[in-house]
Structure 1
């Protein structure tokens, strides 16, 4: 007897179809412009997108067509149809966020290409961030905090079950955990379950973690960038900071955006304390109550980011390794990364043990040797596996 397709599966299927269609249109639009004699750089393959960079007749600077790659595992929840929708919606509001301009050409929306260098290129992955950039970052958080639910005139694409009521931070976090467990870990368990087990992650670790979440302090919701880290902050030639990559934007707990930013940006300890203090001052200015309970809840949200990384990084790292089996040092670097991720999540997941790098590398090699029997070589297109092993160091 057949059963009705779950709403989350229907939403995922519709979203994949929409992204595949927009990716096809991006390539067609780029090809049309290329056929017209306009120089194009690309496609540049990223984790989730393919990007073409070009110049337009009569327009200043360069522009980019950036559309989702089809057939890619999205390890983070999407709440809007596209980042261009979000950027265009923000352009209608008096928030002054430093986002690229969007323009429609040939039936495809282009973003202005910000000429400059990412903050990661300027500071390294975990170096001190010059205070002049922190000064520019605080109004970004302030601008986000001023976009309350209902102000952004953009259609949401996420499952209605994921749309927490304004202020219900406990439900908001619970749904993020649910996504990580069911739409990432469980969805890929047939292929990667044996690897998780070999790395010391019990099959019920995420379920037990979800049961221990407890209650967070209520905070008013606002727009979140969702992925605010050094690679998504671009410094232009005038030393101005721009925010790119809005595909993970959502409405929710402002403290979650801070937790994500801190986890990914990896400030030195003393600078992180300063950033937290400044964030609290800025968010309370525009969103009173936005920092309520941060002393207890920020560590809990940071812990979730560690748990989420176990779900995503084990899968991505293993598949990246499988794409480059000829790299003699690839498995050692992959193992080193996974050990760091597992150590960070040991307390929140209550892992009984964490393997050392030798045992983690052995687990990866055993998984690779059984990859054909798991049937994953025929379905690589379902997983985002284009990341370079150089990024694992």
Structure 2
């Protein structure tokens, strides 16, 4: 990142506003994202330029559209774009912890030893258990119980994902999805939102990417094969044990998403005296979808159906809304 910039800044820039007040469902590793971006710009050409002007953090605005706007979730991605995504993985695979000198804020206990993929995943499970599930139990404990999500589900999850093979660690973006990938007017790919970046198991970055992208099945298989060749060419062993371990990492992502999507979904409901039935149903179906996906990894033998979920969400809304008047226009399941 350049020092205090002045009149030399040209073109369109956007202010990088801190988002500390947002609920954090993922662990943050680096103390200042802009410092990481400044250091990575000499290593990767996919990061929009960052600068500082009068104490304000700026990032160059990329003229273009998100990949999600051009090719929505579930649809295939053009091969020219897929090749650029693989180039991102190639660059990341070559960046190790000793090469990045940016202060970290994650605790030492959360930094697994080099190559300890099992320890790396255990710390992620601990974060989800302690910082997402337990930290929100005062507000969501009854809702989780109504959804038949019990505290011992994390012990089941640990058994489900145990036994990862060792792989050499590298820098991970950890949030490579269609809205964080920008395609400019020249069809060049840019990567934004590095706040979840960390050092760890490269296969985790692939699992997160696959989970968030929702590629068609044939394109997903092709990407996995190309990813293997790409990262192994940079650091031998980067895809070691992928066939057994990728399903485990995807299982963790499904389990993690259950807790985050339940909280985000219910928080999207209005706080006033009326609750739109269509919005309630939308949240219900979202929770049902993630609950079914996470049932296996979390050992949920008998997850509730849509009607039970809608009733549980409605009870949560009635308990927590700020307006003390009765349910007003809200309607129950049926």
The answer on whether the counterparts of 1:125 and 1:265 sit within 8 Å (CA) in structure 2 is yes
Instruction: State the secondary structure of the residue aligned to 2:104.
Output: coil
Instruction: State the secondary structure of the residue aligned to 2:103.
Output: coil
Instruction: State the secondary structure of the residue aligned to 2:97.
Output: coil
Moved more, 195-204 or 343-352: 195-204
Measured after TM superposition, the shift of residue 59 of structure 1 is: 2.9
Residue 233 of structure 1 is matched in structure 2 by 181
CA RMSD of aligned residues (A): 1.6
Distance in 1 of aligned mates of 2:275 and 2:156? 38
Measured after TM superposition, the shift of residue 124 of structure 1 is: 1.0
Would the alpha carbon gap of residues 125 and 192 (structure 1) be closer, same or farther in structure 2, given more than 3 Å must change? same
Structure 1 unmatched ranges of 5 or more = 1-55, 379-393
Measured after TM superposition, the shift of residue 322 of structure 1 is: 4.2
The answer to whether residue 33 in structure 2 is matched with residue 83 in structure 1 is yes
Distance in 1 of aligned mates of 2:281 and 2:116? 43
The answer to whether residue 238 in structure 2 is matched with residue 281 in structure 1 is no
Residue 241 of structure 2 is matched in structure 1 by 293
Among 135, 138, 141, the residue aligned to 1:190: 138
Task: Write the deviation string for residues 316-335 of structure 1: whole angstroms up to 9, x where unpaired.
Answer: 11111144754331110000
Equivalence map 1:241-390=2 (5 Å): 241-323=189-271, 325-371=274-320, 377=322
The answer on whether the counterparts of 1:97 and 1:140 sit within 8 Å (CA) in structure 2 is no
Among 76, 100, 111, the residue aligned to 2:48: 100
Distance in 1 of aligned mates of 2:257 and 2:183? 27
Instruction: State the secondary structure of the residue aligned to 1:67.
Output: coil
Runs of 4 or more consecutive aligned structure 1 residues displaced over 6 Å after TM superposition: none
TM-score by length of structure 1 reads 0.78
Would the alpha carbon gap of residues 97 and 291 (structure 1) be closer, same or farther in structure 2, given more than 3 Å must change? farther
Measured after TM superposition, the shift of residue 206 of structure 1 is: 1.8
Distance in 2 of aligned mates of 1:319 and 1:88? 34
Instruction: State the secondary structure of the residue aligned to 1:184.
Output: helix
Measured after TM superposition, the shift of residue 348 of structure 1 is: 0.6
TM-score by length of structure 2 reads 0.91
Measured after TM superposition, the shift of residue 262 of structure 1 is: 0.1
Distance in 1 of aligned mates of 2:298 and 2:280? 25
Measured after TM superposition, the shift of residue 58 of structure 1 is: 5.0
Distance in 2 of aligned mates of 1:90 and 1:71? 26
Distance in 2 of aligned mates of 1:97 and 1:248? 19
